[in-house]
Every structure is written in C-alpha cells, then in structure tokens.
Amino acid sequence: MGNYGKHVFVLGAGASHESANIPLGKDLVWNYHVDCGLLVPYDNTGPDLREENENFTNYRKFLELAASIFPEFKSLPKKWDNRGMNVFRLYSRLEKRHYIDELLELLQKQGNKEGAKLVKYLIFEHIAQASFNRPNTSYKRFVKEILKIKRPQTTSVISLNFDCMLQEKEFINEVYFDYLINFDWIDHNRTQFYRCSNPIPLIKLNGSLDWGICENCGRLHLYYPFMYRTFYKNKACTKQQCGGGVTPFIVIPHEKYGEKINSLWNIAKNHLKDADQVTVIGYSFPEYDKDVIKLFQDSLNTNVRIEVVDKCQNDQKKKQTEYLKKKYMELFKLSIEIITLDGFSDYLDIQGNQADIRRTSNQKGER
C-alpha cells in the first residue's frame, strides 16, 4: 500500500458479493428465491414447501406488484405458484428499469407507500437471508490485514452497499467504525463497538440495513447489526406516544427523508478531495449511477493515486484493462495506477505480499 497520506476505500456490491455472497444490484430481490432456496429445510422427499411458502410470503406479493407495473411480467405470479419443487429463474432478462433502485424510485413518485415498504423489506430479507452463516472471508481479511494497521485519522471507507458485513462481531477490539450520521436512538448492544477507540469513518451513501427510519416522525434508529430475516416486521418507533412503523433506511436520496443523508454525500466529497489514494473495490461506476459519478467528478484531485480492483476471466483481462483505463480517463480525466482483475481476495494477497517485503526490508535495515 505504501505511505500515500489519506486513503479512501470505495466498496461496491462486487466486494460484498465475493466476501459473503451478498446479491449484486441487478439480482437484488429478483433472485431472492434462487439465492435463498437452499436454505429451505429438506426431508426425505425434498424441500418443505410449506415453510418455503411462509418464508417467501413477501416475495409472492412482490411478483404481484411487478406484474401490476410491468405488463411483460404479468405471468410471474402464476409461474411462481406452479413452480413445484424446483428453484429457477422466473425471468429471462432484466432491463435496468426493472432494477430495484429504479422500481423503488418509481413507487415513491407514484405515492405507493405500501409498495415501497414491501420492496425495502424484501431488500432486507434477501441480503439477510442470502448472507446467513457465510464466512465473510474477504471483509474479515480487509479489516485485520489492512484497516487494523492503518491510522483512522488518514483512512476512510465509502460504501455503496446496504449490508452490515463490516460490522461483524469478530472485529471488536480490532477496528471500530463511525457512520458519521446522528441517530436519535442507538441499541444498547451496539455501544460496545460503535464509535469506540478512534473509529474509522464508514460513509454509507445509500443507507444501511441496520438504520431504521420511523415513517411517522422520521426518528432515526441504529440497531444491533446481527438481524434475522423478519427483524423489521411490526418494528415500532422508540419515541414515546409515536408508535410509527420503522422500515430499513436504504436507497433514500429521492425520498422525503433524504435530507438526513445529504450530509454524508458532503462528507464523502470532502474525504475524496483530501485523498492522496483511492482504492475502488467491486464497483464499476455504471452510467445509471449518475449521482455517484458526479460526486467523484467534483471531488477527485488531479494528483490522486487510483487503484481499481475488479474480477474477470483470464482471457478477458487485457480487454478489461483497456476498458477500465479508457473509462476512468473519460469519466474523471485520471489514469489508473494499479488494476487488479482477480478480485478482492487477490488484492488482499498482493497487499500481504507487499507488507511482507517491507517488513523484511526493514528488518535488514535494522541490523
């Protein structure tokens, strides 16, 4: 890694997917049944569909919602009901307009509060269930091998994910995080490892599953991050005499509570402006993420050192390298200094090897 002053790590869905099987953005909610089907209990005859039907009640409602909005999906509820014991994809191809962030924004514009609430619950259910009992290998290594040895004063993380995989209990006494957002209520179980001992800024621009927002008064809650699939079911506001329902505070810049998160975008801008080094892991700056692209265009200085960590097949590496160089030059007028195309784990291996070389060199110099 070297000594490059202030270092900003940018984490996209690809990082969480490699580390803990978190669904990618294009698959979120749509592949809920596919990703979580293997968690259905089995007996000698196959999966217990009675429990499966209970687990995926909200998913059936989602298919009805999608069918009511998109005529091309009018057959989905019937396909679901007739699926038998098979786990399969219900659709052949999704366009960007079908993606959950687009669908959620459309529901907000339509004033369909119940539909938006359903989608948020399913985002939470999908991520919580798909990542259940996963090893989370890459993030654990990222914390122990990189963040733990860097100074919190010069290190920050910008996350474009909703998951809480950087809040694993194994990280306690190793590294702590600060979301840099003011909560009205914090779970007492959270205080043992939140904002303790020089925390590293963890700037989550799209919200987080462990942030709950009261639909009535806007009270912002920080929950213990180890949540079960039905955690938000009937969750009520902690404010006395409010009693409003609480939903996950995610994908919210276009919502009425968007002002609560706007400060994070300004904080991210300042961190990027001050950065000497930016490492982008598992995020591709897709053209539809216009707000994120603009944030980086307005913030990155011309002398910043850029690293990009991606993953592709061996026979595609030359093509992908040229594509990334061209893309960063067109978007940000910047050259990429390092490109790693074997994924998050390979990047960590490279950093570990470089650290070993530096330690050996220092030991020789001390003799």
State which residues of the chain have pLDDT below 50. 1-2, 363
Between CA 208 and CA 160 the distance in angstroms is 9
220-222 β-sheet, strand order: 185-186, 220-222, 207-214, 246-250
Between CA 222 and CA 206 the distance in angstroms is 15
- How confident is the model at residue 129, as a pLDDT? 84
Write the Ramachandran bin of 241: left for phi over 0, alpha for psi from -120 to 50, otherwise beta: left
> Is the four-CA dihedral 349, 285, 131, 219 of positive or negative sign?
positive
- How confident is the model at residue 134, as a pLDDT? 79
Between CA 156 and CA 152 the distance in angstroms is 7
Between CA 339 and CA 319 the distance in angstroms is 12
Ramachandran angles phi, psi of 351, nearest 5°:
-65, -40
- How confident is the model at residue 1, as a pLDDT? 45
Per-residue pLDDT of 243-274, as tens digits, reads 899 999 987 655 666 778 888 999 999 999 99
- How confident is the model at residue 2, as a pLDDT? 45
The radius of gyration of the chain from alpha carbons, rounded to an integer in Å, stands at 22
Per-residue pLDDT of 116-158, as tens digits, reads 989 999 999 999 888 877 788 999 999 999 998 888 789 999 9
pTM as predicted:
0.89
Domains in the chain, CATH or no CATH each: 1-21+135-367 (3.40.50.1220), 32-130 (no CATH)
Ramachandran angles phi, psi of 321, nearest 5°:
-60, -45
- How confident is the model at residue 40, as a pLDDT? 60
For the chain, what is the HEC assignment?
Answer: CCCCCCEEEEECHHHHHHHHCCCCCCCCCCCHHHHHHHHCCEECCEECHHHHHHHCHHHHHHHHHHHHHCHHHCCHHHHHHCCCCCCCCCCCCCCHHHCHHHHHHHHHHHCCHHHHHHHHHHHHHHHHHHCCCCCCHHHHHHHHHCHHHCCHHHEEEEECCCCCHHHCHHHCCCCCEECCCCCCEECCCCCCCECCCCCEEEEECCEEEEEEEECCCCCEEECCCCCCCCCCCCCECCCCCCCCEEEEEECCCCCCCCHHHHHHHHHHHHHHHHCCEEEEECCCCCCCCHHHHHHHHHHCCCCCEEEEECECCHHHHHHHHHHHHHHHHHHHCCCCCEEECECHHHHHHHHHHHHHHHHHHHHHHHC
- How confident is the model at residue 29, as a pLDDT? 94
